[in-house]
Amino acid sequence: MFSAAVFALAAAAVLWLQAHGITQLYTGADANTWWYLAVSYFLVLILQDGMFYATHRLFHHPALYAAFHRGHHRSLRPTPWTSFAFDPLEALVQALFLVGIVMLIPLHLVTLVAVLSTMTVWAIVNHLDLECLPCQFPHHLLGRWVIGPSHHSLHHRRVSVHFGLYFTFWDRVCGTQDGGYASGLK
């Protein structure tokens, strides 16, 4: 409930900032700029994934864990409700990132809605604690780079691995990818 309130306040702040011309959100687009909708969408996902990895891993530090992230890990077996179970301070950090994004990067309103929809659906699916993707997904080229439910469920059981949001890139680069993850899945 608290995290929902934080995200609602952030949405209200974006609307206020937009009304006062402070954001980079726009609604019109001409035929020559439609390509930017896709580019900006993937850019925001990549930036959000990097920021999420860094803050998520930071919030697992013993000095910050209780204040920022413990509430999320009360669920050892994640559910869709777990995807929204942020401690208020963690929710504030995540929400402020998105407020900052709309102030810095020109985004079409449709792109912002697509990013928020992707974030919500991805969070729910990855907290299902079941693999709703094909069995071969973790072994597939895409599955090695994209986070699925099995990948994130392992994080809830072993909190020292798998900190990413969308992609496994930062886990691989920073050594927090469980080496036996894909081989442990049939």
Which of 184, 101, 103 has the alpha carbon at shortest distance from 150? 184
pLDDT tens digits, 117-169: 999 998 888 888 665 555 555 545 666 788 877 777 788 788 889 999 999 99
Q: Tell me the residue range of the domain where 116 lies.
A: 2-21+37-174
Q: How far is CA 119 from the centre of its chain?
A: 5
Q: Is residue 129 part of a domain?
A: yes
Kindly report the average pLDDT of the chain as a whole number: 86
Q: Is residue 186 part of a domain?
A: no
Buried b (16+ CB within 10 A) or exposed e, 112-136: bebbeeebeebbbbbbbbebebeee
Q: Is residue 145 part of a domain?
A: yes
Using alpha carbons only, what angle is made at residue 32 by residues 30 and 38, rounded to the nearest 5 degrees?
Answer: 95
Using alpha carbons only, what angle is made at residue 98 by residues 146 and 88, rounded to the nearest 5 degrees?
Answer: 95
Q: pLDDT at position 186, please?
A: 46
Confidence of residue 61 (pLDDT cuts 50, 70, 90): very high
How many domains are contained in the chain?
1
Q: What's the mean pLDDT in 42-46? A: 97
User: Which tops the pLDDT comparison, 94 or 126?
Assistant: 94
pTM of the predicted model over 0.75: yes
Helices (H), the chain: 2-19, 34-59, 62-68, 88-104, 109-126, 141-145, 149-157, 169-174
